[in-house]
Amino acid sequence: MTTEVKVPALGESITEGTLGQWLKKPGDAVKVDEAIASLETDKVAIEVNAPVAGVIGALTVNEGDTVEVGAVIATIEEGGAAAASAPAPKAEEKAPAAAAQQAPAEPSKTSDALSPSAKRAAGETGVDPSTVAGTGKDGRVTRVDIEGAAASKPAAPAPAAAPASSGGRKEERVKMTRLRQTVAKRLKEAQNTAAMLTTFNDVDMSAVIEARAKYKDLFEKKHGVRLGFMGFFVKAAVQALRDIPAVNGSIEGDEIVYHDYVDVSVAVSAPNGLVVPVIRDAQDLSVAGIEKTIGDFGKRAKDGTLKMEEMKGGTFTISNGGVFGSLMSTPIINPPQSAVLGLHRIEDRPVVVDGQVVVRPMMYLALSYDHRLIDGREAVTFLVALKNAIEDPTRLLIDL
């Protein structure tokens, strides 16, 4: 019996996606609910699972094709076995074949199991994927794995004489992923619609660094998660947003919407770029709860298992470019939100404290906001409140 594999529902208002990669090929045996393909949507990559057990038949679309919800992308022959699609082995080959079938299957690390971005990374870096330990779902090798292996590879010795240049110049054209197209469209829409302005401040990280160093071991032992800086910043932002509600608001038509809750969008790295899941009701979470949520988002973003509903909504965004070494930036707001906080790298700088020049670990803060809703006074007041809370974390405990 032949069963059709169709594109599943992709979420509210999403009607199509892009076939990112095939995880199975014709003739492969599959189990019920086993992933056979990955789809890229406007927000995140999801997997298409086998509705029945059997053998993969025809693949009706190619990688990179756009497919609509409900479209047939493959067929499965129910009740078959992988050997059914291959010629019968000779007598002397049966024993090895049987042994091979009994051996547990291991995740493939060849180029045929790689995503398009991982393939490009392998080609650009010269890293052999079969030598790399995969950290993706089911042990698959991701682009991040390839790039990490390339970074750790010892540099090749310089040649005695530089080879003669061929004189040619090369270009490579790579189709934008659906996620990248959507990001580009939304960012440009934000620039065209909002009256964006960015206000800066800096913050002395000494107190937070000291608290983290003092309690990180006890914190991890009790809560099972590392104590980072984001927990402090989310808590401080929640407190500042409560005092300056316009920064947590949005414009809908000719109305301003104020929220009595804080849903914080946090940018985390995924194999295909940054994704922005949402910490719901951050005002009700402890620092430990925030860190656990962010840690879970980061892990599942790397595995490609974030759900669509986890990417929707959000009343305020925090983007930490400091993890990549950024000194200062002007982040772009994520509509319909009206503000985004940019964090940057921490570096020792000379500052004046009580008339004395001292060296302190400083970070630049950037708040980009929609000037249609948020006045400069409110933006500055928000940043000052955030700065005060970070420089004196006791304020977070006694609600100042």
Catalytic residues: 371, 375
Residue 277's CB is within 10 A of a number of other CB atoms, namely 27
Question: Smallest Cα–Cα separation from 341: which of 361, 316, 371, 304?
Answer: 316
Q: Please give the distance of CA 94 from its chain centroid, rounded to a whole number.
A: 46
210's tokens: 């000291």
Asked if 39 and 85 count as a contact pair (C-beta separation under 8 A), the reply is no
Angle between helices 376-391 and 206-223 (to 10 degrees): 70
3-class DSSP state for residue 7?
A: coil
Produce one character per residue of 38-66: b if its CB has 16 or more CB atoms within 10 Å, e if not: bbbbbbbbbbbebbbbbbbbebebeeeee
Asked if 47 and 35 count as a contact pair (C-beta separation under 8 A), the reply is yes
Asked if 318 and 237 count as a contact pair (C-beta separation under 8 A), the reply is yes
The alpha-carbon radius of gyration of the chain (Å, integer) is 26
Alpha helices in the chain (DSSP H): 91-102, 116-125, 143-152, 178-193, 206-223, 230-243, 287-303, 376-391, 394-398
In angstroms, rounded to a whole number, what is the distance separating the alpha carbons of residues 372 and 143?
Answer: 40
By CB neighbour count within 10 A (0-12 exposed, 13-18 middle, 19+ buried), where does 200 fall?
Answer: middle
In angstroms, rounded to a whole number, what is the distance separating the alpha carbons of residues 208 and 373?
Answer: 32
285's tokens: 């979470």
Question: Smallest Cα–Cα separation from 61: which of 31, 16, 98, 126?
Answer: 16
Asked if 82 and 66 count as a contact pair (C-beta separation under 8 A), the reply is no
In angstroms, rounded to a whole number, what is the distance separating the alpha carbons of residues 382 and 247?
Answer: 8
**80 to each of 7, 23, 88, 252, 348, how far by Cα in Å?**
23, 19, 14, 55, 65
